[in-house]
Structure 1
């Protein structure tokens, strides 16, 4: 049985996409290989953010761990590979956001970390990318051989399915103070998430429909202050005079997300750049019509099951939002196509593909 050394740094950050990926892949791999994990309970409390210890963990502790455990292959499920690995190394690159968006390089330590990552990635035996779009970015940015970079689509959890239990739906409505029909955005507030476009589109819709327009529910933890990478959506809503039409829920528990997706008139995802894009797929799996940007990996991942729109044209988004609430055939078609599309992306399939690539790397027999 293949013996895998697994970098478990992000197991300490289950609220992040990378943390969820690490946990799901680990759980699925553990049934198919002998997996040795460094991370989780071995990490000191509070050490999950970028700091000097993280650099030490990735570049010293993890390689030594793989050597001590006599693993066949080392696997880093995020963009944090060591500069030198004593074992064949496989690394997953979810996206190139830290390199493509300079606002994320906000400190000397981040710049140093990005420098180390840029030097380490080409040394990996094989590289996994979450999408063909990310694969193209990796090949172009890191100047690596196309043969080294493989696409392995992540999965979405089996908990994402249409919720029909009325008592459960009522409880979620009460918990987040929701009533009536609503559009839903669930995600972060990074500048690349393009929240301004979403609010501009909703303003156009409100001007057309007045109080007949469903409320716009914005779910997720709102930043307490702006930064080069983050926007304050509360301020943006006030500037547009939309306080009576936009409802902020704050942080949403994982177990409540399927209910929110299931109740929404449509899920809106105007992001400018995604390496994969979990939220719109989760919404699809729950039978929610999806409007998403025609940008980065989203057309590849969502296919024809979403209404894909120009992320720079709020009037197109307003028209799409009006369409899904007025054209019942359109909404129903998006629901049906979305549920089928989401079935393609499973963690079992992802783990099976990851394992095959780990075996290939181990078979090469050298770092």
Structure 2
């Protein structure tokens, strides 16, 4: 007599890339933490639907279902057309295919296409609004990366979401003093430099940051790509793309790491900078207050107050005691975040749907 059929867990992970954003960090780190926990609970078949160039990003024990390398609207259409068969399906970046036999879970990273549509192209806003709305209507369970995002999902769609915070990736840890000095010399980073890491796009408010740095009398250094139609402020120095292995030391080498986004579903870059021992000044938006709690709350400023931002930057750069306090507070603030905890909570969501894992 044969036993019960082997359960299958499918992950829609087309957003995973060989390097990149918080969504990609979420997929990579969550699968790495979830896989051994699922294996410990039985012998499920674990399948990740990824683009071909991201197959090597998957942890051992996960079967790759490779798909063509595409982006934008073509990736969205590919996600809708996926043939996943049966079993649990978890859309790790809110997308679900048109057809699937079995329970479904979606992770929502933010509702920026609804809340700040001006930060995206009109075509992207409309397309993603339709995709997000469809997924949230259809999913059996919803996961949100912060209490802020869960509240936005509740207010707009009437769905309850389980909160699973993101966390710094394993390589985001304080670098040695020798590595910090080596990276500082490599990039010509002054001891009074304000560093901003990430793609320059409207939501990141780089012109506002440049204005505040000029007002504070401190140099601004940008690391990352340029979004379509964006330019580098004339007062800033642009390093371009920085290899990921240099980021921990670069965060610590800067006098201040600034993050002045106008909207965030979570805000992983400042959290990673704090985990590396950086002194962070950021805007009080989205999930940052809940994630940083009281430990580093003084590092948060109102999102549109250039005077408050300039004052915070000036103090953090010029006052050595203040700078040291920000670095210590940041390390304490992110100490409670971890991918093992996120994986445990995610596994509880799977089990709540009757999945034997």
Deviation at 1:262, TM superposition (A): 0.9
Output one character per residue of 1:223-278: Cα deviation in whole Å (capped at 9) or x when no partner: 3x51xxxx32x2xx23xxx2xxx221111111111001111111111111000011
Match of 1:217 among 218, 221, 229: 221
Change in Cα spacing, 1:117 to 1:319, as seen in structure 2 (3 Å) is: closer
Determine the structure 2 residue equivalent to 1:153: 165
Q: 272-281 vs 29-38, which deviates more?
A: 29-38
Say if 2:151 is the partner of 1:177.
Answer: no
Determine the structure 2 residue equivalent to 1:273: 263
TM-score norm. by structure 2 comes to: 0.85
Residues 13 and 93, structure 2, Cα contact 8 Å, conserved in 1: no
Superposition CA RMSD, Å: 2.2
Determine the structure 2 residue equivalent to 1:14: 19
Which structure: greater helix fraction? 1
Deviation at 1:117, TM superposition (A): 2.8
Separation in 2 of the partners of 1:80 and 1:126? 13
Change in Cα spacing, 1:36 to 1:335, as seen in structure 2 (3 Å) is: same
> Pairwise mapping of residues 109-148 of structure 1 onto structure 2 (< 5 A)?
111-144=126-159, 146=160
3-state SS of 2:308 partner: helix
Determine the structure 2 residue equivalent to 1:60: 81
3-state SS of 1:9 partner: coil
Deviation at 1:327, TM superposition (A): 2.9
Deviation at 1:290, TM superposition (A): 1.3
TM-score norm. by structure 1 comes to: 0.83
Residues 81 and 117, structure 1, Cα contact 8 Å, conserved in 2: no
> Pairwise mapping of residues 98-109 of structure 1 onto structure 2 (< 5 A)?
98-103=113-118, 106=121, 108=123
Say if 2:286 is the partner of 1:286.
Answer: no
Separation in 2 of the partners of 1:194 and 1:360? 40
Aligned length: 331
Determine the structure 2 residue equivalent to 1:309: 301
Separation in 2 of the partners of 1:217 and 1:173? 12
Residues 83 and 116, structure 1, Cα contact 8 Å, conserved in 2: no
Deviation at 1:220, TM superposition (A): 0.9
Residues 2 and 359, structure 1, Cα contact 8 Å, conserved in 2: no
What 5-or-longer segments of structure 1 have no aligned partner? 207-212
Output one character per residue of 1:292-348: Cα deviation in whole Å (capped at 9) or x when no partner: 111221111122314111111111111111211333332222211211111211111
Deviation at 1:89, TM superposition (A): 0.5
Match of 1:256 among 246, 252, 267: 246
Separation in 1 of the partners of 2:137 and 2:68? 31
Separation in 2 of the partners of 1:317 and 1:106? 28
What 5-or-longer segments of structure 2 have no aligned partner? 1-5, 39-43, 53-64
Separation in 2 of the partners of 1:175 and 1:153? 34
Change in Cα spacing, 1:80 to 1:7, as seen in structure 2 (3 Å) is: same
Deviation at 1:181, TM superposition (A): 2.9
Change in Cα spacing, 1:313 to 1:110, as seen in structure 2 (3 Å) is: closer
Deviation at 1:179, TM superposition (A): 3.8
Match of 2:73 among 51, 56, 63: 51
